[in-house]
Each structure stands twice: as C-alpha cells, then as structure tokens.
Amino acid sequence: MFKRRTGARVEATPPRRSWVRLVILIVAALGGMATIFSWSVASPSGAAPDEGFHDTSIWCPPQSWSQECQTRISDTGDLQVAVPKEVAAAQSCFAFHAEVSGHCVLGLSGEEVWEGHFNKGTYPGGFYDVMHLFVGSDVYSSVVVMRCFNGVLALGLFLVLAWLLPRDGRRLMAWSLFAVSVPLLIYLVCSTNPSSWSITGMVVGWFGAYAAFASSTLARQVVSGALAVVGAVMAAMARSDSGAYVALAGLAVVIVYFATLRKRVWMVAIPGAMVVIGLIGFFSGGQTSVLSSGLAETSHTGSWGSFMYNLAHLPQFMVDYSAGWFGLNWLDTPMPPVVWVSVVAVSVALVFLGLRWMDWRKGLVLVGMLLVYMGLPLLILQRNGDLMGSNVQPRYVLPLVPLILAMALWRPRRGGAPSLTWVQTGLMYVCVVVAQAVALHVQLRRFVTGTDVTGFNLNRQVEWWHPGPSPMATWLIGAVGFALLSALLFMVRTGRGATPTVDRDAAALAKGTDECLLQRSVDST
C-alpha cells in the first residue's frame, strides 16, 4: 500500500496494478483477432460487393502485366488479363440470390479466364498493389489472408491510437467505433474491398490528429501526427472519394484546433499533410467523374419528383451502416431488426448525449460533415437520375460515420467524450454484442446453406465450407471474441485524461470572458 498526505490526514491508496490493464488489453486484442478470423472465413471469394472487379485488380495490378499476368486486347479493343475463374466469376453463381450457398464456387478452381473488368485508373491503385503481395496459388486462402491482414492492421492501429490518446479520448474513440461497427464496418474492414482501407484510414487519420493535439509531450505529438499521416495515405490509396474525405477531415482539424494552431504554428503540418494527401488521392482516380457525369453511361439528370423521393428516403440510407435494408454481400443479405434496431438506437442515443456540449467550432464541423454525408448521395443520385436504392450504397459514405459520431460526442472545453453510468455502458455492451452475434450467424447461414435453410445449428445440411473450425465453432469464436473486445467499453467508461491543449485554451478564454462580464455587472450595480 502507498500513502499520500492530504492536509492533516494520511490516506491509504492501493498500488497501481498496471499488469491488470495489460492483461485486459491482451485479452481484448485476442478477442478482436477472433472476430476478424470469423468474419474473414465466413464467406467465399466474390462475396463482397464488386469483389470480382477488386480481386481481379489485386491479382493483376499494372506492374504485374506481361510478367505474372498475361494480357491481350480483345476484339472490342479492351485490355484483358488472364486470372483464375474463381477470382473473376465467383460471385456470378450466388450474387443477388441469398438462397444459393457458396457451394458453386468449388467448381470454379483450376481454370483461367480472360477478364476485362478491373482497375484501369478508376481507383488510385495503391491498395491493390499491397494486396497483390498476398496472392498465392490457392484463391480462397489468398483472399482469407488479405481479409485477416486488413482486419489485424486496423485492430493494431486502433490499439496504438488508444495508447496515445488520453483517457477521455479513448472513450471518445470507443464510443464512436463500437456503436457503428456492426455489421457493415466490420464486414468491410475484413474484406478485399478498398473500402477496408478507406474506413481504417479515416479513423486513424482523424484520431491520430486528435491524439497529437491532445498530447503534452513532443514525442507523443510526433508519433500521433505520423499516425494521422499514415491513415491519410491509406485512405487516399484506397478510393478517390476517401481522398476527398481526408482533405475535408484536415480542414475540420484546423477549425477545431484553431486556438492551438495560433500558438503552435508548426502543428499545422498535420492537417496540412492530410489535406495535400487527400487531394492527391482524390485526383489520382477516375471516380471524380461521377460528380459530373453520373454512374451510368446513359445517365440523365433526375426530376424534381425523384429528388423529393430520394430526400424522403434519405434517413433510411443514413442509418444503413446497420445493413437493415441494403444488407451485406451483393445487397442480398439484410440484417434482422434485432441487429439494426440495436445499433441505430445506441448510436442515436450517443448523438443526443453529445449534443449537450456545443460551441461554434463543433457546430460548424458537425454540420459540414452531415452535409457531405447527406448531400453526396443525393447529388450522385440526381446526376444519374436514380432513385434511392440504386447504384449509390451506404458503404460509399461509411468512412464518415465514426467521425460524425465522434464529433457529436466531443466536448469543446473538456475534450473527449462524456462518461456513462454502469447501466448505460452495460446496455450499450449488450446491444452491440448481441447485434454482432446475430449478424455473424446470418452471414454464415447465407453462404453455408443459403437462406432457404433455417435453424440455429449451422452444422446441419452444410453445402459450402472449408478446412478448419466448423461453421458453429466459427460463429462461437466470433461471438465470444467480440464480447471480449467490447469489454473495453467498461475499461474507458469513466475517468479523465490530460486535458487537450485546445480545450485548455478554450476554457481559459471562456473563463476570462465570464470574469469580464461579471466585473461589468458589478460595476454597473
């Protein structure tokens, strides 16, 4: 026992048990890896949206043409590459048909086909170059390794950020990630879709900048700033629209921490790098043409009536990070109400809690993020003449969701997120853990047997699976693993860390203003 003197009393305080926290972090990390494994093996190759396009781009990036991948010019003048049929056409046998299991993929191995649908400048391409390093002789094993790598990469970066953040900053990160992670965010992070790095990069970039400005030591500021740049590079390498999001996030950092930047001008390098990297990523891909010409070759501007229809259905789109309507995979696996109601209820409750603390900086950034989140889908739909549910999917703007929730929860003067009671934390924990377990079970059912088979036991009537743990064992690993990972919610539930510099400045300014007003009142009296 240690003793400390408080006035005339001597209080006994328990010794610091940092090893307990270390054990909790290790268990949580193992739980996170178990979750990543379960989601990574829960579906065959070709399961994620447009995965045929993305996997072909991974197997044959430009530097591999004529070396590892054979190329040719088709009769129509298109460039084609030779890839395993399982890479290019796996989704063709089950996409949009939830009752069809993944069994048909087993008959596609051992054959190469010519494929012309792959990245030819639409995406920046860096994501595909890195994923190409994991290409092996077996398609499914390679895809699983890529999925696991992307999941573990995200988990590792998030845990490093949690270590760099003050306690209330960790709480802010935990609240804003866990509340919206099920199921679409986890599903995409553990995939070969570039949206994996788009989501991870945006979270790392935003919270890396937050950790840099919240740190009181130069070493932590430098490391956190470097992480913010790494996150910006990841997002910019993944998708062009993510590059635009990164640039906007950099501008938001300038607004939020303007008081600090006036005193520490050198720290403008962090948001400045984010803006530059984001703009490079935005202009390095062909996705920018969507804003001017729409998504389809025959696109036409929508009518006033279609705009009003899309506006009326926008709330459904905004909360579909819960996959309640568009669903997972090829939009053929919507989640049951127990999933999307739980997830939406938790995130909306947190938003209302956070709106208790507001100033002009928070309001400006929050409104700006919401305008992009709501306006971009409406703009693309109007340019393409489509109705909500066509072409534009929630995953395109999903990287903004954790940032919007974090900004809604952020306390301008004190920093971080507000504390929750045991009851509130327990309710959040139960909601996200149950939602994740149900979502994973639905995902496994979708490909193990197809949704025409019902029942809790996934080991019955198995049509598609692979060596390793059984479907039920895989579900149990993922359900328990996520429950262990989510226990971090209790670890960061209360307490305060170091007050961020910007918040000290704002608090001092507010205190001085209050004292001035008080003095004027006294003088007038």
Which of these, 478, 500, 473, lies nearest to 172 by C-alpha position? 500
pLDDT tier, 340 (very low <50, low <70, confident <90, very high otherwise): very high
Q: What is the pLDDT of residue 16?
A: 52
User: Using CA atoms, how far apart are residues 85 and 139, in angstroms rounded to an integer?
Assistant: 10
pLDDT tier, 300 (very low <50, low <70, confident <90, very high otherwise): low
User: Using CA atoms, how far apart are residues 366 and 350, in angstroms rounded to an integer?
Assistant: 14
Cis peptide bond N-terminal to 183, omega within 30: yes
Residue 63 counted as domain residue: no
pLDDT tier, 482 (very low <50, low <70, confident <90, very high otherwise): very high
User: Using CA atoms, how far apart are residues 201 and 402, in angstroms rounded to an integer?
Assistant: 12
Residue partners of 486: CB distance under 8 A and separation at least 6: 31, 178, 429, 432, 433, 436
Helix 337-354 to helix 422-448 angle (10° resolution) is 150
Residue 137 counted as domain residue: no
User: Mean pLDDT of all residues in the chain?
Assistant: 88
Instruction: State CA 258 to chain mean position distance.
Output: 26
Q: How many CB atoms lie within 10 A of CB 144?
A: 22
Residue 161 counted as domain residue: yes
Q: Check if the beta carbon of residue 139 is closer than 8 Å to that of residue 88.
A: no
Q: Check if the beta carbon of residue 306 is closer than 8 Å to that of residue 271.
A: no
Q: What is the mean pLDDT of residues 318-322?
A: 95
Q: How far apart are the first and last CA of the chain?
A: 55
User: Using CA atoms, how far apart are residues 383 and 404, in angstroms rounded to an integer?
Assistant: 25
Residue 504 counted as domain residue: yes
User: Using CA atoms, how far apart are residues 337 and 331, in angstroms rounded to an integer?
Assistant: 16
Which of these, 385, 447, 490, 414, lies nearest to 91 by C-alpha position? 447
Indicate the range of 294-308, 372-386, 465-479 predicted with least confidence.
294-308
Q: Which two tokens stand for residue 506?
A: 């704002």
Q: What digits encode the pLDDT tens for the residues 174-233?
A: 999 999 999 999 999 999 999 999 999 999 999 999 999 998 899 999 999 999 999 999
User: Is residue 486 pLDDT above 70, yes or no?
Assistant: yes
User: Is residue 517 pLDDT above 90, yes or no?
Assistant: no
Q: What digits encode the pLDDT tens for the residues 150-188?
A: 999 999 999 999 999 999 999 999 999 999 999 999 999
User: Is residue 253 pLDDT above 90, yes or no?
Assistant: yes
Beta bridge partners of residue 83, listed in sequence order: 113
Q: Check if the beta carbon of residue 256 is closer than 8 Å to that of residue 365.
A: yes
Q: Which two tokens stand for residue 290?
A: 């969507």
Q: Which helix (H) or strand (E) holds 236?
A: helix 218-238
Q: Which conformational region is residue 137 in: left (phi greater than 0), alpha (psi within -120 to 50 degrees), or beta? A: alpha
Indicate the range of 2-6, 32-36, 354-358, 495-499 predicted with least confidence.
2-6
Q: What digits encode the pLDDT tens for the residues 376-401?
A: 999 999 988 889 988 899 999 999 99
Q: What is the mean pLDDT of residues 246-262?
A: 94
Q: What is the pLDDT of residue 67?
A: 79
CA distances in angstroms from 380 to 53, 288, 326, 372, listed in the order given: 21, 11, 17, 12
Q: What is the pLDDT of residue 6?
A: 40
User: Using CA atoms, how far apart are residues 444 and 450, in angstroms rounded to an integer?
Assistant: 9
Indicate the range of 2-16, 277-291, 466-480 predicted with least confidence.
2-16
Amino acid at 520: R
Q: What is the pLDDT of residue 289?
A: 57
Percentage of residues of the chain with pLDDT beyond 90: 74
Q: What is the pLDDT of residue 402?
A: 97
Strand pairing class (71-73; 9-13): unpaired
User: Is residue 516 pLDDT above 90, yes or no?
Assistant: no
User: Is residue 299 pLDDT above 70, yes or no?
Assistant: no
- Number of domains observed in the structure of the chain: 1
| Strands across the sheet containing 112-115 | 71-73, 79-84, 112-115
Q: What is the mean pLDDT of residues 399-415?
A: 94
More confident residue, 84 or 286: 84
Residue 140 counted as domain residue: no
Q: What is the pLDDT of residue 216?
A: 84
Q: What is the pLDDT of residue 287?
A: 63
Q: What is the pLDDT of residue 432?
A: 98
Residue 336 counted as domain residue: yes
Please count the residues of the chain: 525
Q: What is the pLDDT of residue 504?
A: 46
User: Using CA atoms, how far apart are residues 487 and 305, in angstroms rounded to an integer?
Assistant: 47
Give the range of the structural domain holding residue 255, as residue numbers without chain letter.
12-47+147-509
Percentage of residues of the chain with pLDDT beyond 70: 88
pLDDT tier, 497 (very low <50, low <70, confident <90, very high otherwise): low
Q: Which two tokens stand for residue 96?
A: 């949009």
Q: What is the mean pLDDT of residues 404-418?
A: 93
Q: How many CB atoms lie within 10 A of CB 75?
A: 5
User: Is residue 255 pLDDT above 70, yes or no?
Assistant: yes
- Residue 37 sits at the vertex; the CA angle it makes with 36 and 42, to the nearest 5 degrees, is 105
Q: What is the mean pLDDT of residues 482-507?
A: 71
Q: How many CB atoms lie within 10 A of CB 232?
A: 34
Residue 401 counted as domain residue: yes
Q: What is the mean pLDDT of residues 422-434?
A: 97
Q: What digits encode the pLDDT tens for the residues 2-44?
A: 344 444 444 444 445 678 878 888 999 999 999 999 999 999 9
Beta strands in 169-245 (DSSP E): none
Residue 118 counted as domain residue: no
User: Is residue 512 pLDDT above 70, yes or no?
Assistant: no
* Predicted model pTM: 0.90
